[in-house]
Structure 1
């Protein structure tokens, strides 16, 4: 029963991608590891937007607090 579960999921006759990724990640092309795959942007752009967006919002709110512009009483 449990040995047939991976077969039903389609993992038995799947192409071995290890040599492809090994060549890709060991290539010295000047790119960081997290930007090397074609799908990296799907993960990196939302991450960068959230990190820099929240950082900018925090700095903005902190500056308003220091200058005395509180929005609550």
Structure 2
């Protein structure tokens, strides 16, 4: 693993061998990094994806669960 300057890695994050993490990148706690990370990127999840994509996925899942429970109660 090659870490750039100013990299922040959250607790319990996993990083695969032979991965390069660019300067200023942030890896969220519990994330799993399986490929190189560009400088300045924030990554979340397992496998790690760009933070904005992870947050979008979580919001969509939350909405689907909400809609599903509303349909059952009708």
Q: Which has the higher strand share?
A: 2
Q: Which has the higher contact order (CA 8 A, sep 6+)?
A: 2
Q: Given the two structures, how large is their TM-score scaled by the length of structure 2?
A: 0.42
Q: Tell me the TM-score normalized by structure 1.
A: 0.42
